[in-house]
């Protein structure tokens, strides 16, 4: 596990008109780790991710990437840093095959024709790097894939672009037990390959099965950022539902009002 965050967001405020949705939000994402982003419906998870991925402009706050403060004004800025988001609807085209989907909008060309062999090789290498064995042919239409396979293609598509951080929005929400296990394995493997992975999830089993850290949002504020091994299911549920957990033993010098709480003892990140 890394000592230095790959992505560090601090003090993010975001309002829609008169309604402030994010208040002084902070989150660290470490390379080689899965950071679960949890919170009740409307807590601000999607809004935070949209700020980090350049879809929304934040009203205040800083983003540090790889130790340098950066400005993310558009999805293009985020992609240039290697931040990719896999949304719940997956945005795959049913009438295209796996390779076509993975390169959609970023096709490789040789001269005036598409460089199919290179794209196929890159798609194949990416799936192999993730140890994906569930896809039979790269030329299969996405329409013929199961939910888990579609999720796999969407994740591989995000990983393909020299990504450093991949943010997954509820990747197992529509999946059965076996497919959920496969996708969680994939999530773990991405982190093991050195990526910083952010997993938005309402499913505490998934969160505890695969994450290294948990960031809990409550009513648009960071209620806690903790190592997964330092907390229990019920403490996280308490944080999600009330914004506090009496059992967490938060240090008094870092009260909840600071908006960013990391109960990991200093030096224990490594």
User: For 114-176, where are the alpha helices, taking DSSP H only?
Assistant: 116-129, 147-159
Q: How far is the CB of 51 from ligand ATP (least distance, A)?
A: 10
Q: For 131, left (φ over 0), alpha (ψ -120 to 50), or beta?
A: left
- Are 153 and 185 in contact by the 8 Å Cβ rule? The answer is no
Q: How far is the CB of 48 from ligand ATP (least distance, A)?
A: 7
Q: How far is the CB of 37 from ligand ATP (least distance, A)?
A: 9
Output 31 or 44, the one with its CB closest to ligand ATP: 44
Q: How far is the CB of 227 from ligand ATP (least distance, A)?
A: 22
- Are 270 and 3 in contact by the 8 Å Cβ rule? The answer is yes
Nearest by Cα to 156 from 115, 35, 148? 148
The contacts of residue 101 (CB under 8 Å, 6+ apart) are 92, 93, 142, 153, 157
Nearest by Cα to 25 from 6, 3, 46? 46
Output 44 or 148, the one with its CB closest to ligand ATP: 44
Output 132 or 223, the one with its CB closest to ligand ATP: 223
Q: How far is the CB of 10 from ligand ATP (least distance, A)?
A: 18
Given the rule CB under 6 A, which residues bind ligand ATP?
16, 19, 21, 39, 41-47
d(CA 79, CA 74) in angstroms, rounded, equals 9
Output 21 or 142, the one with its CB closest to ligand ATP: 21
Tokens of 180: 């959920």
Output 38 or 154, the one with its CB closest to ligand ATP: 38
Output 39 or 259, the one with its CB closest to ligand ATP: 39
Q: How far is the CB of 100 from ligand ATP (least distance, A)?
A: 29
The contacts of residue 57 (CB under 8 Å, 6+ apart) are 51, 73
């Amino acid at each position: 596990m890394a000592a230095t965050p790959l992505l560090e967001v601090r003090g993010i405020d975001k309002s829609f008109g008169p309604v402030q949705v994010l208040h002084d939000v902070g989150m660290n994402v470490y390379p080689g780790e899965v950071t679960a982003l949890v919170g009740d419906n409307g807590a601000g998870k999607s809004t935070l991710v949209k700020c980090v991925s350049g879809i929304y402009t934040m009203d205040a706050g800083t983003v540090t990437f790889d130790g340098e403060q950066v400005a993310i004004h558009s999805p293009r800025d985020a992609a240039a840093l290697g931040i990719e988001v896999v949304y719940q609807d997956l945005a795959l085209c049913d009438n295209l095959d796996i390779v076509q989907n993975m390169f959609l909008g970023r096709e490789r060309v040789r001269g005036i024709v598409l460089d199919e062999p290179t794209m196929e090789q890159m798609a194949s290498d990416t799936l192999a790097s993730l140890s994906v064995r569930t896809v039979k042919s790269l030329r299969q239409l996405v329409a013929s894939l199961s939910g888990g396979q579609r999720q796999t293609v969407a994740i591989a598509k995000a990983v393909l672009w020299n990504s450093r951080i991949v943010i997954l929005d509820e990747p197992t929400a529509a999946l059965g037990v076996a497919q959920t296990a496969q996708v969680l394995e994939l999530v773990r493997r991405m982190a093991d390959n050195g990526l910083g992975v952010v997993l938005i999830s309402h499913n505490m089993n998934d969160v505890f099965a695969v994450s290294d850290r948990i960031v809990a949002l409550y009513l648009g504020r960071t209620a806690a950022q903790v190592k997964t091994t330092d907390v229990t299911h019920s403490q996280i549920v308490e944080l999600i539902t009330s914004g506090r957990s009496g059992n967490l033993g938060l240090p008094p010098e870092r009260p909840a009002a600071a908006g960013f709480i990391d109960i990991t003892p200093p030096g224990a990140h490594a």
